Structure 1
Amino acid sequence: MMSKYQFLESYRFKNGMTVKNRIVMAPMTTMSSFHDGQVTNDEVAYYAARAGGPGMIITGVANVSESGKGFEGELSVTDDRFIPGLAKVAAAIKQDGTKAILQIFHAGRMSNSSILRGKQAVSASAIAAARAGAEVPRELTETEILTIIDEFGQATRRAIAAGFDGVELHGANTYLLQQFVSPHSNRRTDRWGGSFEKRLAFPLAVIAKVKGIIAEAAKEPFVLGYRFSPEEFETPGIRFSDTLAFVKKVKSELDYLHISLGHVWRTPMNDQSNQLPVVTSIKEAIGELPLIGVGSLETPEEVEKVLAQGVEFAALGRELIREPKWVQKVIRHDQSSIRYKISPSDFDELTIPRAMQHYLQTSFREVIHLSTDETTESNAYLKEVAPMEGYEKKL
């Protein structure tokens, strides 16, 4: 017997792809690929353990360019030789009708010469990120920009060949797509920078290239999503009004938008007078375009509240690390057995890769709810930025 929850209802995208429910597994870094970006068996097992329940699973990021690697243990989709490994991930995810989405990106200045094996990171302009230890990147040439646009397209072609059901452009968390939009990282005076409209030229070109590849190569409905951060904290930087203008500009070109937030009900942080949740304002701006809300969602009741506001999808991240069978347990009316804490002793049983285990016990220890620690407030990111958003915790 199915539960009464709205989030268990199916959804049909405008391109005809039907998703069996409104739960999305959020893209999360596993740091578990081989040094060259090849898929490991640990990653395949990790996704397989969480498949079958959510309507969609979005992978952790895969870099589209050799210059775009952002961290060690990152997936790569830079060459056809990666297709067989990525196909294993897609097949593992697509159990019992779950849709597999490959998130693709270029890290831009959010990389460094160590990760890039001695090469300088690149960005829209030669401006270092406002974070400790950030290196000054090299400004991309016109030819390099056009090459990266094409590489996003080729990455999409490989995702289609590997059997994924869509790609998500990672334009959030201060990565390259966002760097071109931002007046902090983009100080160019050519056709790729200057005015707000010119700063949108790069993401719009990437979207157009990816759409073209989908039209050429996809034989089945294949969705294109875009993840974005609602604001920046540098001055100058992206403000929420810029983001509202951006989403209105791109909404007709996409199948869905995905907000990057540490807490789904956070309000704009640069304008304390605006107490309307970001997710509510974005939904009003994009109308019928599907929106994925995310951030500190744990219980069925919390997820249902998001959909009650007109948001089509709710993404679970940390909660699906702790409880891989969250959706199945809700369907079976077995909510009382859902894990809201996780024991380090269960990491292996939950098929959490070893590199990711270390990450959870260091950078994310505060909010992963370890049973060995004192209970952490679930609303930790309601009033402050989360580390996964690409900024230092204290600004």
Structure 2
Amino acid sequence: MTQQFLEPYHFANGLTLRNRVIMSPMTTMTSFYNGMITTDELNYYSARAGGPGLVITGVANVNALGKGFEGELSVASDDMIPGLHRLASAIQQQGARAVLQIFSAGRKSNHQILRGEQPVSASAIAASYPAGSETPRALTEAEIKQLINDFGTATRRAIQAGFDGVELHGANTYLLQQFFSPNANQRTDQWGGSLANRMRLPLAVIDEVQQTIAKYATRPFILGYRVSPEEIETPGIRLADTLAFVAQIKTKIDYLNLSMGSYQRTSLNDKADTEPLLAKFARTLNHAVPLIGIGSVETPADAAAVITGGADFVALGRELLREPQWVQKVAAGDAAEIRTTISPADLDELAIPPVMQVYLQNSFASVMHFTTDQQAATNYQAQLAPMEGFEKKL
């Protein structure tokens, strides 16, 4: 019997995926200094696009102040379109649909990365982690309106580059989340204060992107949104806030993507609540819009559990680094040969770019299951994982 996650999926706008496995967006740190795509990145994506139904790229900044780290992809100017077209084509030629994830890092940047400019955010409040984060300046009303426009312009470029959609990165403590967060956003104007006001920027960006898609797309083009369910700071985003936000946007987007280190994640703030967050979001969406379940999915049993838990799609991140042929092996009944560990000696063979190799071994060693790591794997059911905003940058 075919696993449900291997069955095709048809979006309401006509876009079809060959299966319900998603390649999760992952940082490569391999783009050129100005954000243009490199051959190493093209090879990396091409090696993994032969199995999933959809590949979501690592983040691309929508403007110069949105850059969060070196080696980051950019969609901030029309100069990027030819390279982005090569990226979309490299993915689509292997049979997967291609979605470009777009964002602004906000206060999760620094003056060195921004070439002397001060980071920006909702308010002039430094992030609580990592230690020593720089204090940003608060965006002005005019800059907020320009930011909204920049997300729309980035979407137009993604359409012209041939992508099948964009995903707004509203997770991992980046700028869209910063405006939604009572920790980062302590404004007293229309963009801050109440929950409704803190939703205002993400909702405005979604509306701008929708209008851009309606204006420029000549074939099915989807809009996804990624959220982090909770923050651990006080004050900070709580689960009820995010569920309320999701209820607001579910008629405006084509899918919702969660950012969690484990698909079995329970509340980080309410330890008495043992219901998986996946089930809570599935209940809120009630399949009105598809939900991507994610986090520590390694085996077909994990993938099946994500679907059983209420998700419509299952996303693989680290596992597709270890095993680019995951989908093909499962489909062929060869799951016993799936790699769930990875040897540092195999990174070149797996088409993982050299800079990304260093990044994985330095910042993500605890979650990669390296064969040289003698420590037991960490369970992220009840704690944040490095990829949720704790990662250190090179």
TM-score norm. by structure 1 comes to 0.97
**Aligned-residue CA RMSD in angstroms?**
1.1
The runs of 5 or more residues in structure 1 that have no matched partner are none
Residue 367 of structure 1 contacts residue 380 of structure 1 at CA under 8 Å; is this kept in 2? no
Cross-structure match for 1:137: 136
The Cα of 1:392 is off from its aligned counterpart by 7.1
**In the alignment, residue 195 of structure 1 is paired with which amino acid?**
S
The separation in 1 between residues aligned to 2:52 and 2:374, in whole angstroms, is: 29
Could you say what secondary structure the match of 1:298 adopts? coil
Q: What CA deviation, in whole Å up to 9, does each residue of 1:249-299 have, x standing for no partner?
A: 111100000000001111011011111101100110111210001100000
2:169 match: 170
**Structure 2 unmatched runs, 5+:** none
Matches within 5 A, 1:1-395: 4-131=2-129, 132-288=131-287, 289-374=289-374, 376-377=376-377, 380-391=379-390
| C-alpha distance after superposition, 1:48-98 (max 9, x if no partner) | 000120000000000001000000100000000001111111111113431
Deviates more, 1:271-280 or 1:90-99: 90-99
Q: Is the CA contact (8 Å cut-off) linking 2:183 and 2:233 kept in structure 1?
A: yes
CA offsets 1:335-393 (integer angstroms, 9 cap, x no match): 1221111111111111100111001111111121112222632x521121111111379
Cα distance in 2 for partners of 1:200, 1:366 equals 34
Q: Residues of 2 paired with 1:35 and 1:250: CA distance?
A: 35
1:318 counterpart letter in structure 2: R
- Cα distance in 2, alignment partners of residues 54 and 25 from structure 1: 6
Query: Counterpart of 1:111 in 2: which secondary structure?
Result: coil
The amino acid that maps onto 1:308 is T
Contact 1:290 1:313 in 2 (8 A): yes
Instruction: Give aligned pairs, total.
Output: 390
Percent identical: 59
How many Å separate the matches in 1 of 2:360 and 2:60?
Answer: 20
Q: Distance in 2 between matches of 1:199 and 1:162?
A: 32
Question: Contact 1:367–1:376 (CA<8 Å) still a contact in 2?
Answer: no
Structure 1 stretch displaced more, 305-314 or 366-375? 366-375
1:320, distance to aligned residue in structure 2 (A): 0.1
* TM-score normalised by length of structure 2: 0.97
Contact kept in structure 1, 2:363 and 2:391, CA below 8 Å:
no
Which stretch shows the higher mean deviation, 43-52 or 94-103? 94-103
Q: Distance in 1 between matches of 2:178 and 2:371?
A: 38
In structure 2, what is the Cα distance between the partners aligned to 1:55 and 1:43? Answer: 19
For the 8 Å contact 2:364–2:391, the answer to whether it is kept is no
Q: Which amino acid aligns with 2:203?
A: L
- Letter of the structure 2 residue corresponding to residue 245 of structure 1: A
- Which amino acid in structure 2 is aligned with residue 206 of structure 1? V
Letter in 1 for 2:44: Y
Distance 1:323 1:375 in 2: 21
Distance in 2 of aligned mates of 1:187 and 1:85: 39
The AA in structure 2 aligned to 1:167 is V
1:322 maps to a residue whose letter is: R
Are the aligned partners of 2:111 and 2:117 in contact in 1 as well (CA < 8 Å)? yes
Over 3 Å counting, the alpha-carbon distance change for 1:375 and 1:325 in structure 2 is farther
One-letter amino acid of the counterpart of residue 231, structure 1: E
Task: Give the counterpart letter for 1:301 in structure 2.
Answer: A
- Give the drift of 1:310: 2.5
Give distance in 2, aligned partners of 1:343 and 1:94. Answer: 29
